[in-house]
Amino acid sequence: MVVNYSAVPRESLRGRLLRLPLALIPRGMVVPILQGPCKGMRWVVGSSTHGCWLGSYESEKMQCFVASVRPRQVVYDIGANAGIYTLAASRLVGSAGRVVAVEPLPRNLAFLRRHVQMNHCANVTILPVAVSDENGTALFDDDTDASQGHLSANERLEVTVARLDDVAKVEKLPPPDVIKMDVEGAEAKVLAGGERIISQSRPIIFLATHGAQVKQECLRWLRGHGYTVESLLGSDAEYAYEFIAQVRG
């Protein structure tokens, strides 16, 4: 059973007391992940939230993700950040499976590569691009929290953008069985740029949406392509922002 430390509100006395010792751990220190599907794997403190190495990050979503990934499968982690889902997927699919981790932000890429290397994840391919509905370059906002970087026309960091269909063809990627997508508002563009491979392989999709308009665009796209979409965390779909999409039968 995973103890969900992350669910304890920061503002509460218990939350403050639980988090107080975390400030004493030096950034950059390598620690073992304490619980969950990545238990025992190594993690760099400061690369993302402490919940990653505590094993409580997005606990409910992670449990659902774990229940959906099988040995020998192919998982695309789109918006991999520092790689906690990439590490989990690498262990779950095993040596006969494959994980494709997609992340454009240089800071996150450095930690992602380090986590993959130090945990000897030979089944992981890292792609330093932002997946969208076009090929080329775009400006990226990296001034916010590292886990919330997103495409933005008003920024200075230029990143490579590519359609998922084209990336898969150029890189000769196997079709996905599972896609986890968290791209801070570009979700509809990712779906549009991956229409061919998604329509052909019909993967389970874990989708985090950002904004009401993007959410509705994604739901229309998925349902229009034969997917049943359910709230991931059990809340009413009208108010939910995290979804699991599957093709039934």
Please, what is the average pLDDT of the chain? 88
Strand partners, 43: 31
Q: Where are the beta strands (DSSP E) in 153-237?
A: 157-163, 178-181, 204-208, 228-231
d(CA 155, CA 80): 21
User: What pLDDT sits at residue 137?
Assistant: 84
pLDDT band (50, 70, 90) for residue 199 = very high
pLDDT for residue 5? 60
Mean pLDDT across 104-122: 96
Is the pLDDT at 77 greater than 90, yes or no? yes
Q: How many CB atoms lie within 10 A of CB 192?
A: 18
What does the pLDDT average to over 201-209? Answer: 97
**Residue with tokens 């304490």, as numbered in its chain:** 34
Task: Report domain extents, the chain.
Answer: 58-246
* 120-133 pLDDT tens trace: 999 999 999 999 99
- 44-61 burial, b at 16+ Cβ within 10 Å, e below that, comes to bbebbbbbbbbbbbbbeb
Give the pLDDT confidence score for residue 235 in this predicted structure. Answer: 67
Range 199-215 average pLDDT:
95
> Each residue of 131-169: pLDDT tens digit?
999 998 878 665 554 444 444 544 567 888 999 999 999
Least confident of 22-26, 36-40, 153-157, 167-171: 153-157
pLDDT of residue 150: 46
CA angle 107/111/115 to nearest 5° reads: 165
* Residue 16: per-residue pLDDT: 61
**pLDDT-derived band at 239, boundaries 50, 70, 90:** confident
Give residue 146's pLDDT: 46
Question: Residue 185: what pLDDT?
Answer: 82
Query: Which region among 159-163, 205-209, 224-228 has the lowest average model confidence (pLDDT)?
Result: 159-163
The pLDDT assigned to 222 comes to 96
> Other C-beta atoms within 10 Å of 133: how many?
18
- pLDDT score at 248: 77
Q: Given a cut of 80, is residue 236 above it in pLDDT?
A: no
CATH of domain 58-246: 3.40.50.150
Residue 19 confidence (pLDDT) above 70: no
